[in-house]
Structure 1
Amino acid sequence: MSYTTIIVEKRVEEKLGIIMLNRPDVRNAINQTVRTELLQAIMDMDADSNVRAIILTGGSKVFAAGADIAAMVNNTAMEMFSNSELWDLTLRMEESRKPFIAAIAGFCLGGGCELAMACDIRVAAQSAQFGQPEINIGIMPGAGGTVRLSKLVGLGKAKELVLTGKMISAEEALSINLVNKVVPDDKLMEEAFAMAKMITRHSPVAVGLAKFSVQNAQDVDNYTGKIIERAAFSLAFASEDQTEGMKAFLEKRKPSYKGK
C-alpha cells in the first residue's frame, strides 16, 4: 500500500516492521491523514506473521511535535468527539499481541507523546524532549494521555506535566519511568533494533501472551490480574512453540519458533 505521511518497511529476515512518521516540514505534526495511515499500517503488520515486533519512529530530528493545530482550530466539540482515530490507533497498539518500540529523538509532545506512551518500550535519544503541552492552547490531552501518563509516572508527576504543560528532558523522562532507556542520538536506531532483536528471537505466542498479561494487570484488581496471568501461562502450553522451546532447552540447541 502507498502512504504519503509515513514510511513503512518490513524486514522479513529480522521479523521486524518499521514505521516512520514523515512530515519533517511540520515536525511530524499528526493530522487526520497521519492517523489514518498509521492505523492502516499497524493493522497490516498486525496481520503479517512475518512481523514479530514493530519500531515506531519519527527519524533523527523529531518524533512528533503534537497534533496539527491548524487542522483542528475550527473543529466543534462533536467533531472532536467523533474523530477517534488517534484514540483507536493507540488502543490498537496496546491490544496488539505484537510489541511496539518507540525510538524517540527531538520533540515528543502532545499527541506524539500519547503515541509513544501507547508503545510497550520507549528508547529515547539524548535530544528528546517530552511533554503534554495542550494546556498552553486551552485544551487538554485527548487520546489517552492522562491515563497512560498517570500509570507510567504516577499521579502527582502526571498532574504536574499535564497542568503546567512544561517539557522535560530525556534524562528526566528516564528518571520518572516515562522512557526505558536514553542513548546518544547516533545510537538511537541501533538500540531500538537491538531491543527488537531480543524480543523477536522468542516465541511470538509467548510474547503475545506475556504482553496481554502485563498490559491487563494495569487495569484490574490484584486477584483478577493473577487469574489472567494463570490463564495466559496455561494457554502457552497449547502451542507448538512451547514444546519446541522446552525441547530445545533440554537438547541444548537454539529453538526454532513458528508462532503456532
Structure 2
Amino acid sequence: MSYQNILVETENYITTLTINRPKKLNALNRETLSEIHDAFVELESDEETKVIILTGSGEKAFVAGADISEFADYSVEEGKDLAARGHKEVFDVIANFKKPVIAAVNGFALGGGLELAMAAHFRIASENAKLGLPETSLGVIPGYGGTQRLPQLVGKGRAMEMIMTAGMIDANQALQYNLVNHVTPLEDLMELAEKLAGKIMKNSTVAIAQAIEAINANYEDGVNGFEKEIEGFGKSFGTEDFKEGTSAFLQKRKAEFPGE
C-alpha cells in the first residue's frame, strides 16, 4: 500500500513506520492519522513484521503535535468525535497491538505527538528530544489519551504539572520521569531501537502478545489484571512456542520459536 504522509519499511522482521511531513514537523492531520490506522491494520497480519518502530522523519521532530488548522473551528460535537475517532482508530489500536511497538522519539514530541509516543509499548529518545502536552495553552485539553497515559507513566503530580504548565521537558528529565526508557545521541537512536527489537525477537511472539494483553489489563477499569495473567499463562501451555521453549531449555540449546 502506498502512503502520502508516512513511510513503511520492513527489514529483518522489523518494520519502521515513519511520520513523513518534515515541513510541518510531522504534525498529525486527519489524513496522516488515517494512514497510520491503515498501516497498523496491514501490519497486524504481515508475517514479515515482528516488531514496529515508530518514528518521525528528519532530525527536528518525532511529531510536533496535531495540525491545529484542521480543527480550530470545530463545534463541541465535532471535537468530541475527533477525539473518539482518534482513540478508536489509532491510539488504542497501537496501545493494544499484539506486536511490540517501540517509539523512537527524535526531537519534538508535543501534544498529539507525545500521545502517539505514549500509545507505543515503550519509548526511547534522542538527546535533543523535547516532550510535552501544551494543549491548555490553546484552551483545550489533551484528547488522544494524554490525561490518562501520562499519569500512568510519570505519576499524577508530574502529569498535573506538565499539563497545567503546558511546558516541555528534555530527554534527561523524561528519563528521570520514566517517560522514556533510554536516551541516546540522535545518530544512534535507530540503531538502539533495532538492537532492542532484536532482543525482543529472540523470544516467543505468542507469549509477548499475551504479555502485552495482560499488562494492559492492569490499566482497564473493571478488568482484573491478575485474572488476565492467569488466563494468558494457561493458554501458553497449549502453544507450539511453549513446547519449543521448554524443550530448548531442557536440551540446553537456543530456542527456535515457530510463533504458534
TM-score norm. by structure 1 comes to 0.96
1:86 deviates by 2.4
Of the structure 1 ranges 32-41 and 50-59, higher mean CA displacement relative to structure 2 is found in: 50-59
Alignment partner, residue 234 of structure 1:
234
* 1:172 partner amino acid: Q
1:61 paired residue number: 60
**In structure 2, C-alpha distance between the alignment counterparts of 1:72 and 1:220, rounded to whole Å:** 30
Shift of 1:219: 2.8
Matched, 1:8 2:8: yes
**Which ranges of structure 2 fall in alignment gaps of 5 or more residues?**
none
Alignment partners' CA distance in 1, 2:221 and 2:180 = 23
Q: In the alignment, residue 185 of structure 2 is paired with which amino acid?
A: P
Paired position in structure 1 for 2:167: 166
Contact 1:36 1:85 in 2 (8 A): no
8 Å CA contact retained: 1:124, 1:182: yes
Task: Work out the CA distance in 2 between the residues paired with 1:61 and 1:90.
Answer: 23
CA distance in 1, matches of 2:32, 2:86: 9
Q: Matched residues in 1 for 2:202 and 2:219: separation?
A: 26
Cα distance in structure 2, aligned partners of 1:150 and 1:93: 18
Aligned to 1:39: 37
Identity rate, percent:
39
What is the match of residue 249 of structure 2? Answer: 249
Q: Which runs of 5+ in 1 are unaligned?
A: none
Letter in 1 for 2:176: S
Task: State the AA in 2 paired with 1:68.
Answer: D
Deviation of residue 49 (structure 1)? 2.5
- Which stretch has the larger CA shift, 131-140 or 249-258? 249-258
Q: List, as ranges, runs of 4+ consecutive aligned residues in structure 1 with deviation greater than 4 Å.
A: none
Preserved contact between residue 217 and residue 224 of structure 2 (Cα < 8 Å): no
Q: CA deviation at 1:105?
A: 1.2
Q: TM-score normalised to the size of structure 2?
A: 0.96
Task: Figure out how many residues of one structure are paired with residues of the other and give that number.
Answer: 257
The within-5 A match list for 1:1-260 is: 1-11=1-11, 14-59=12-57, 60-83=59-82, 84-88=84-88, 89-219=90-220, 224-260=224-260
Distance 1:199 1:250 in 2: 21
Structure 1 letter corresponding to 2:110: L
Q: Hey, what's the Cα distance between the residues in 2 that align with 1:4 and 1:225?
A: 39
Cα distance in 1 for partners of 2:125, 2:232 equals: 31
Secondary structure of the corresponding residue to residue 8 of structure 1: strand
Contact 1:245-1:255 at 8 Å conserved across structures: yes
Find the residue that maps to 2:224 and give its secondary structure.
helix
CA contact (8 A) 1:35 1:85 kept: no
1: CA distance between counterparts of 2:180 and 2:225?
24
Further displaced range: 74-83 or 107-116: 74-83
CA deviation map 1:51-101 (0-9, x unaligned): 111000003321001000111111112112222342121101112111100
State how far apart, in whole Å, the 2-side matches of 1:77 and 1:10 are. Answer: 40
RMSD: 1.3
